[in-house]
Amino acid sequence: MAISGSPKMLAGDIAKGVNTITVSTIKQYTPADLKTIMVNIGIVQREIRGEQVPIDDVMAVKAKNQKLQRLNQAISTIASYAKQRRIPL
C-alpha cells in the first residue's frame, strides 16, 4: 500500500504522537515505502534537533525530547522489522 499523503507529514505526525509505528502498521508498506519513511523521519529529526529551545523552559525541552524519542522508537521498530524480513534500508 502506498503512503497516504506526504511522507514528511507522516514523520511529523509520528513526532507529534498522532501516528504510531507498530509492526502491524509497517506490514502495509512496501520496502521502497519503508525506505522513504526512514529518510523523512531523519529529515524531521534534524529539524527538531535544530530547534532552539530556552533552557529554562522545562515544558518546551520536555516536548522536544518526547518528539525525538517517538522518532527514535519508530526508527528502531522499522529497522528491526526490516532486519527480520531481510529488507535492505
Q: Is residue 80 part of a domain?
A: yes
Q: Which residues span the domain enclosing 51?
A: 7-85
Q: What are phi and psi of 27, to 5 degrees?
A: -60, -25
pLDDT at residue 7 greater than cutoff 70: yes
75 Cβ contact list (under 8 Å, min separation 6): 38, 41, 42
Domain annotation covers residue 2: no
Please check whether residue 65 lies inside any domain of the structure: yes
Q: Could you give the number of structural domains in the chain?
A: 1
Q: Share the mean pLDDT of the chain.
A: 94
Specify if 52 maps to a domain.
Answer: yes
Q: Is residue 28 part of a domain?
A: yes
Percentage of the chain lying above the pLDDT 90 cut: 92
Residue with cell 509492526: 23
Q: Residues 60, 54: contact at Cβ < 8 Å?
A: yes
Q: Mind listing the pLDDT tens digit for each residue in 46-80?
A: 999 999 999 999 999 999 999 999 999 999 999 99
CB 20, CB 54: distance < 8 Å: no
Residues of the chain with pLDDT > 70: what percent? Answer: 99
DSSP character at residue 27: T
* Whether residue 30 has pLDDT greater than 70: yes
